[in-house]
Amino acid sequence: MSEEYTKINVNIGGCKNCLFSLQHLIGKYADIKQYIVNSEENFVFIHPVYTKRVTNLLKFIGFDIGGINNQLPVYDKDSKAEYNDDRYFLPESDDDYLTNFITCKRIGNDYCTVEQDNHCISASKLIAILPHEVECSRSHLVPGWCVAVYSGDHLRKINQYLQSFVPLSEELRHIKRIDSCRSYGNKSTYVFLQIATSRYTWLDANETLASMVDSLRLNSSDHQFINTSPIPCWIPMYSPITRKHQLLYSFSDDVSQEKEISSFTNSLGKPIILGWPCTLRAYPELERLVNVGRNPLLSCFSELELERHSSWLKRVSALSKKAQELSDLHPQSCAGIDGPACAVIIVDPESNSALAESTTPVVTSDTSYLDHAVLLAVSAVAKLKKDMGNQYSNFYLCTNLDAYVSLEPCLMCGMALLHNRIRRVFCCQKLEGNGAFTNTTRLHVREQLNHRFRVFAPP
């Protein structure tokens, strides 16, 4: 990228919904053609003329903005500011308030924390490591247009008109056209018109309203419309994945005890509607996974299962500590030469028996730097299958088997478990920065790979 472009550090956090909503905001709403988003390294390259505008938009919807590096001075405002719709969508407020408002709406953690230097040997304290989109606490808001309407039978006609003449795209099917879930006073409600883009501006929304009022013969004098001017709103671009997301996206008081939802006014003195009610396609298994380590009553594990998992976690932790006592250096550790000795136990959950266990070996002239504990364990399972013949012929490699590890595997070991079709992995300790499962990579849930499995680790 040319030196004349600004580099904005944006914490996307591995969430594809954050990435796509950011791209929509820059490309389709702001109509900026030339920009680069690097979601792996968390930055955006953009021309300095747009820097102020883009940072204000991203801050308002809850993105963490870091340093801004560029070779040219940052412009105070977009050269086309007088023509864009930002004056409708952004409040008159200082930068700190913009940064903090929607961030405070995020879902809080409700699990017990575990000291990172200690092994977690209680399965009840582990959480499921899920896709970034499930764990993401942002609302993925993008601008849209709505209108204030008095409650009444005419809402049905308005809804039918909009469905016919201003249909929502497939990606917005989760948006409820009529916001009947929240109270705004004066027996009023808001009706969503359309998402805001460079091709659907305030003028287009105003034209939609004028056509609808004329076609349906509606007016504000008989308590149907509160007004016939488009009102800016920020709607979630993607459908909620869990119940908590559904509440978060609608800015429901069930998630936050903040003051009124519609508490902002823009520079024109008009309200800004934040969040929007959405339909939720329920995934009971996912809801149970979300509650692992948080709510025992809703968890996917029974008391007996938790006892079994805890027993194996204790055993693998003891193995790693025993291996640690044999040597000070562990070149084959997943954490590197200065890392701790690692231990792995591969278990058949049907019989609750160990099929293989291994630890980081003591360095000798015969050991290889590739002799990581995970690789040794899966090799031992393959050898067992070969030696035992028909007894284990009903599974392919590590299919339907569980792995208990003292330390989260590195990328190499994570790929080994993936290729061997492991069923679940339980970690006593996370590998900060370089782990295969708890960091940005998250091998076990990547859609590009042909096998996915469950991972449980300390928070």
**Which tokens go with 105?**
């709406």
What CATH code is carried by the domain that includes residue 349?
3.40.140.10
What CATH code is carried by the domain that includes residue 55?
3.30.70.100
At 392 the pLDDT is: 62
Residues 306 and 453 placed together within one structural domain of the fold = yes
pLDDT tens-place string over residues 24-82: 999 999 999 999 998 888 899 999 999 989 998 998 888 888 766 654 444 444 444 44
Q: Lowest-pLDDT range, 125-139, 176-190, 344-358, 361-375?
A: 176-190
Task: Return the amino acid letter for 23.
Answer: Q
At 131 the pLDDT is: 94
Residue 111 has pLDDT above 90, yes or no: no
pLDDT tens-place string over residues 134-177: 999 889 999 999 998 887 888 889 999 999 999 999 999 999 99
In whole angstroms, give the CA distance from residue 48 to residue 34. 12
Q: Lowest-pLDDT range, 69-78, 127-136, 390-399?
A: 69-78
At 369 the pLDDT is: 81
Nearest to 419 by CA among 392, 442, 449, 446: 449
The reply to whether 193 falls in a domain is yes
Residues 210 and 311 placed together within one structural domain of the fold = no
Average predicted confidence (pLDDT) for the chain: 84
Residue 304 has pLDDT above 60, yes or no: yes
Answer for the pair 382, 416: CB distance below 8 angstroms, yes or no.
no
Q: What global pTM score does this model have?
A: 0.83
Residues 271 and 311 placed together within one structural domain of the fold = no
Q: Lowest-pLDDT range, 302-306, 354-358, 371-375, 387-391?
A: 387-391
Q: Output the CA angle 225-231-236, nearest 5 degrees.
A: 120
Q: Lowest-pLDDT range, 29-33, 188-192, 365-369?
A: 365-369
Overall residue count recorded for the chain in this entry? 459
**Residue 18 to residues 135, 285, 416, Cα–Cα distance (Å):** 12, 24, 30
Q: What is the mean pLDDT of residues 268-284?
A: 88
Domain that includes residue 152, residue range: 135-284
Answer for the pair 132, 194: CB distance below 8 angstroms, yes or no.
no
Structural domain total, the chain? 3
For CA atoms 315, 321, 326, 330, the dihedral sign is positive
The reply to whether 97 falls in a domain is no
Residue 112 has pLDDT above 60, yes or no: no
Residues 218 and 310 placed together within one structural domain of the fold = no
